[in-house]
Each structure stands twice: as C-alpha cells, then as structure tokens.
Amino acid sequence: MSGGEREPGDTEGAVPEGVRRLAAEREERRRAGDFDAADALRDRIGAAGYEVADEPSGPRLVPRRPARPRVAPAAVGSVLDRPADRDASIHWLVEHWPEDVRRGVASFSRAAPGRRVQHVVVDTRGGDLGELPDDVEVVALDRDPGWAAAVNAGLGRSLGRIAVVADGSIEAVGDWLGPVEAALADPTVAVVGPVGLVTDDLRTFRESRGPEVDAVAGHLMAFRREVVARVGGFDEGFRFYRIADVEWSFRARATGMRALVVPLPVVVHRHRTWEATPPEERERLSRRNFRRFLDGFRDRFDLTVGGGHGGPPGRPPRPRPPVTGSGRG
C-alpha cells in the first residue's frame, strides 16, 4: 500500500482474521466500482459484529454500534411549515463515500464561524458514517429511492433561511455564506452557485461565468427556503443525478426568477459517482434524464438567457414535486 494508507481492518484491539479478510476484499470491490459486491461484504462484516469506517487514510474496522432507525422516504417528516431558525441548511447525500461528506461538513462549518448552520446528511446505503458532529441530523433511509427523492427527503428538514444542496466533492476554504446571502437578498434571484450552465439549443450545455445563467450546476446550489416551497423539490424521476440540476433551474426560471453564478471559495475534488459509474451506464442514464428534461422544456427558449433559436412556446413544465420527504415506492 502507498504511504499513509492503513491495512483494511487495522484498528485498536483484536479483530478476527476472517473479518479483516472481508474488509480487504470489500475495499478491493469498492476501488473496482463493484458496489453491489462491496455492500454484500459490508453486510457480512456487520453480521460478524463490526462496521467499516471509510476514512481518507483507508477503511477502519470498529465494533458495531446500535443501528440508527431507518425509515421509508415517505415517512421522513417535513419542517418547512416551521419558522426558519438557522442561517443556512446544507444538504449532503451519502451514497458510497461517507468520508467525502465528513470532509464537506467539517469544511463548511469551519468556514462559517459564529453562524448557525444546520447540516442534514441523508444516508441511502447503511453502514457506518464515521464520526460526525453531534449536531448533524442524519436521515437514514431504508432504501435507495434515487438521487432526487433522497435529496428531497433532506430538503424537507431545512430549518435554515437558505438551503444549500452540496455534492460530496465540494470543500469550503473560505467564507461561502456571506456571498450567498448577498446574492439571494435580491428577490428576483432563485438559485446561485459557483458553476453556471448555458445553452443555445436546449440540447447541449456549457459552463458560463454568467453572472446570469440558464442553470446552476449541482456541485453546489443555494436558494432561499421559501423558493423551495414555491418551485418544489427535485423531480423524483431523476434517479441518477445528471440533469436534475438543470431541470430544477428551469422550473425556477419559469416562475420569473433568475439563476446566477456567484464565485465562492470552494475546492472541487473528484466526483466519485461519475468516476465509479461505467461509461456506458453513465451515457444510458444521462440520455434517459435528458429525455425527461426535454419532456417539460423541449421548446422553452424563452427561459434561456440568450433566447436560443426562438420558436413557439413549448409545453409547460411538469407539475412540481412537493418537498415533504416523499420518495418513490
């Protein structure tokens, strides 16, 4: 192993050799992108009384702790009818890399000293999330309902005046909240983020510095809490993450509000889901999601910054999904 990595299973106290072998095999499967096999091995490790804590330096075996109650997506309660009492709520989704989310949580808290920031972590896979701060709210789902439904389950728990959807690849290295608050003080702005997208033909999108753009990329999307109630959650037909950010941004623009690029002091690390998904599967899922986007916005050039090719108005966007934590059955 390279310097700094620990042997899978290296922890304080004696761990049975058989469990150590399972942990080593699981790590090989994860690195190969075979997550179904890795999840099955994790379950076998759990049955033996241990959990795998995935850390930047490598996996670590720890005695199994009492399991968090896992709930159906539809059973996650919403608090959007309560007054906001935090400055911001940041939403994270754990799929296979809890260490990335732990890095993100720590960095965004560290970069907002003295501010009331809520972190909501949605876990769709089970297993050990590692050491998270006590004030992090974990929403443990009993299944993987797909990217959009999982994120919506977390959004329904927002107590911050601003809601932020962040990918695990994002790390804050400076004041991120100040610029976001300043931009969202404009009531005509629906969503902001550091990466913007524009299109000329509603078929291909490219990055743009803006400031006004057609969509904000899902690396980091920030919007006022009341905008979530007005626009709705992400379209739960998007089980894969791609294009879900574009579709939501277009629904927001269809209400007459704008999407803006706001430079933020963040570092973008590896996008693990992208890297771990085989190219053929990425293409298949992306095409399916793009067809869904076009179902609602095929001819809506009026919603683009540049106006595109113009033409007759298209069909209206599909009805907005509520943010109540509901998921696919």
Q: Which of 79, 118, 74 is nearest to 229 (CA)?
A: 79
The C-alpha angle 23, 147, 303, rounded to 5 degrees, equals 150
Identify whether residues 48 and 168 lie together within a single domain.
no
| pLDDT value at 329 more than 70 | no
Q: For residues 235 and 158, state if they share a domain.
A: yes
The per-residue pLDDT for range 140-170, each reduced to its tens digit, is: 999 999 999 999 999 999 999 999 999 999 9
Q: Average pLDDT for residues 53-59, to the nearest whole number?
A: 76
- Residue 325 has a pLDDT of 38
108 plus 37 within the same structural domain:
no
Give the model's pLDDT for residue 62: 78
pLDDT digits (tens, 9 = 90+) for 226-246: 999 899 999 999 999 999 999
Question: 218 and 91, same structural domain?
Answer: yes
Same domain, 170 and 264: yes
Select from 239, 255, 276 the last residue of a domain. 276
In terms of domains, do 43 and 121 share one?
A: no
Q: Say if residue 123 is in the same domain as residue 34.
A: no
Q: What is the domain extent for residue 37?
A: 17-63
179-184: Cβ within 8 A, 24+ apart: 179/262, 179/263, 179/264, 180/88, 180/222, 180/262, 180/264, 181/87, 183/260, 183/262, 184/222, 184/223, 184/224
Q: What is the pLDDT of residue 308?
A: 60
**In terms of domains, do 221 and 169 share one?**
yes
Rg (CA), the chain: 20
Nearest to 218 by CA among 193, 252, 254: 193
Assigned token pair, 255: 């209400």
- Does residue 210 belong to any structural domain of this protein? yes
Residue 9 confidence class, pLDDT cut points 50, 70, 90: very low
Is it the case that residue 136 has pLDDT exceeding 70?
yes
Domain assignment of residue 322, yes or no: no
Q: What percent of the chain has pLDDT over 70?
A: 88
Give yes or no: residues 121 and 258 share one domain: yes
- What CATH number does the domain containing 245 carry? 3.90.550.10
What global pTM score does this model have? 0.76
User: Is 237 found in the same domain as 182?
Assistant: yes
Over the chain, what is the mean pLDDT?
Answer: 86
Tell whether 232 is covered by a domain. yes
Q: How many domains does the chain have?
A: 2
Q: Which of 328, 329, 323 shows the shortest CA–CA distance to 154?
A: 323
Confidence of residue 17 (pLDDT cuts 50, 70, 90): confident
- Within-domain flag for 22: yes
Per-residue pLDDT, averaged over 247-275, amounts to: 94
Same domain, 248 and 122: yes
Closest CA to 112 of 185, 173, 157: 173
Q: How high is the pLDDT of residue 309? A: 54
Would you say residue 84 lies in a domain? yes
Task: Let me know whether 140 and 35 are in one domain.
Answer: no
The SS3 of residue 252 is helix
Task: Give the per-residue pLDDT at 234.
Answer: 97
